[in-house]
Amino acid sequence: NAHRIAVIPGDGIGKEVVPEGLRVLDAVGQRFGCAFHFDTFDFASCDYYLEHGQMMPDDWKAQIGGHDAIFFGAVGWPETVPDHVSLWGSLIQFRREFDQYVNLRPVRLMPGVPTPLANRAPGDIDFYVVRENTEGEYSSIGGRIFPGTDREVVVQETVMTRIGVDRVLRYAFDLAQRREKKHLTSATKSNGISITMPYWDERVEAMAPHYPDVRWDKYHIDILTAHFVQHPDWFDVVVASNLFGDILSDLGPACTGTIGIAPAGNINPERHFPSLFEPVHGSAPDIAGKFIANPVGQIWSAALMLDHLGEREAGAAVVRAIEEVLARSEYRTRDLGGTAGTTECGEAIADAVLSG
């Protein structure tokens, strides 16, 4: 029974790193005997937009809604399409319409990856950011009045729902409970964002007693970013609103060396809809077309996808292969101080899976 995967390369380096992810998945198929059926789609890209005037066809949900997962590259080409148009017309649609309410982002210091932090070694940094992925600060409610005048006012609503907050908190508490340290950190800003954020805190406090074995704490987002830099070893599972999770899941990987290796799972835990797996980095127009992008974020995303599909052994093998290859300097891409190209790095990881 083949896993049916919708493949969406998107824009920029998405088109360069997705093939490396597929290369590794092919290797996984050979090594572990799991079968994949890939369908590739050209929508959710700015090229598609320029041709059709919209980011996706009207029936996009029918086209990919029946797949077991979406393997996604990156979207955005601001030179031709403003980011809020391209993103709201694709990625943010997927997250919302497929109710992928958890954005799961591992942060781990890998062997061989130079970290900007002093005195940190692999093993010191190993945690998850659990980001709310459908509501909060990313709302589409708001607008502008008195445009072009001195009275101009622009407003945008942050929206938190009981259902939306509780379900992501539950996922995070569950995850923390399964881990060794059983430690949950909540990102807040209730001292400044005085309506929605105290509500977030309230829901955390209401849920905590159901997880008596999970130790939890909370920090305001400002000092939390400081702690990421100064004490990344403090964290195990960090749960955050849509915006705060977005920030923390770029900052965390930066502390471990590069966002080029960071993966993300946009997950619908109930499996009513396909989940989407993508690297945290975007389309990176500045280095697109040169085949120098780091494919590890995309490949690690494939590992997260394998976990989600129930292929846990294969997922673990891919992560091991990544670690093996990163430990050897000759396959590191430029963002890691190496000289390897996208393909060389991808091939090395695929080989490591095959021989691993």
Q: Are 348 and 323 in contact (CB under 8 A)?
A: no
Q: Where in 169-208 is the site for its own copies (CB under 8 A)?
A: 189-199
Give the separation between CA 101 and CA 83, rounded to whole angstroms: 22
Residue placing its CB nearer to ligand IPM in the complex, 258 or 347: 258
Task: Tell me which residue of 280, 286, 290, 224 sits closest to 257, measured CA to CA.
Answer: 280
- Token pair of 71 as six digits: 């393997």
Residue placing its CB nearer to ligand IPM in the complex, 36 or 171: 171
User: How far from chain centre, in Å, is Cα 247?
Assistant: 11
- Token pair of 195 as six digits: 């309506």
Give the separation between CA 205 and CA 186, rounded to whole angstroms: 10
Question: Strand 36-40 vs strand 3-10: parallel, antiparallel, or unpaired?
Answer: parallel
Using CB under 8 A, which of 237, 255, 276, 317 touches its own copies?
A: 255
Q: How far is the CB of 255 from its own copies (least distance, A)?
A: 6
Give the separation between CA 232 and CA 249, rounded to whole angstroms: 13
Residue placing its CB nearer to its own copies in the complex, 166 or 323: 166
**Among ligand IPM, its own copies, none, partner that 350 touches (CB below 5 to 8 angstroms by kind):** none
Backbone angles phi, psi at 257, to 5 degrees: 125, -45
- Token pair of 271 as six digits: 């499996």
Neighbours of 23 (CB within 10 A): 20
Give the separation between CA 205 and CA 199, rounded to whole angstroms: 10
Residue 80 touches its own copies, criterion: CB under 8 A: no
**Among ligand IPM, its own copies, none, partner that 161 touches (CB below 5 to 8 angstroms by kind):** its own copies
Q: How far is the CB of 228 from its own copies (least distance, A)?
A: 8
Binding mask 83-122 for its own copies (x = CB under 8 A): xx--xx---x----------------------xxxxx---
Residue placing its CB nearer to ligand IPM in the complex, 97 or 222: 222
Using CB under 8 A, which of 66, 111, 143, 310 touches its own copies?
A: 143
Residue placing its CB nearer to its own copies in the complex, 36 or 138: 138
Long-range own/partner contacts, residues 91-97 (CB < 8 A, 24 or more apart): 91/44, 91/278, 92/138, 93/55, 93/56, 93/60, 94/44, 94/70, 94/266, 94/276, 95/133, 95/134, 95/266, 95/276, 96/134, 97/61, 97/273
Residue 283 touches its own copies, criterion: CB under 8 A: no
Q: How far is the CB of 291 from ligand IPM (least distance, A)?
A: 22
SS3 81: coil
Binding site for ligand IPM (CB under 6 A): 87, 191-192, 222, 246, 280, 282
Residue placing its CB nearer to ligand IPM in the complex, 28 or 75: 75
Residue placing its CB nearer to ligand IPM in the complex, 87 or 267: 87
Using CB under 8 A, which of 7, 175, 247, 296 touches its own copies?
A: 247
Sheet-wide strand order for 102-108: 36-40, 3-10, 69-74, 275-279, 263-267, 102-108, 126-132, 237-240, 183-188, 215-220
Q: How far is the CB of 87 from its own copies (least distance, A)?
A: 5
Q: How far is the CB of 217 from its own copies (least distance, A)?
A: 12
Using CB under 8 A, which of 8, 27, 160, 352 touches its own copies?
A: 160
Residues lying near its own copies in the complex (CB under 8 A): 76, 82-84, 87-88, 92, 115-119, 137-138, 140-144, 149-163, 189-199, 221-223, 225-227, 229-230, 242-243, 246-247, 249-251, 253-255, 258-259
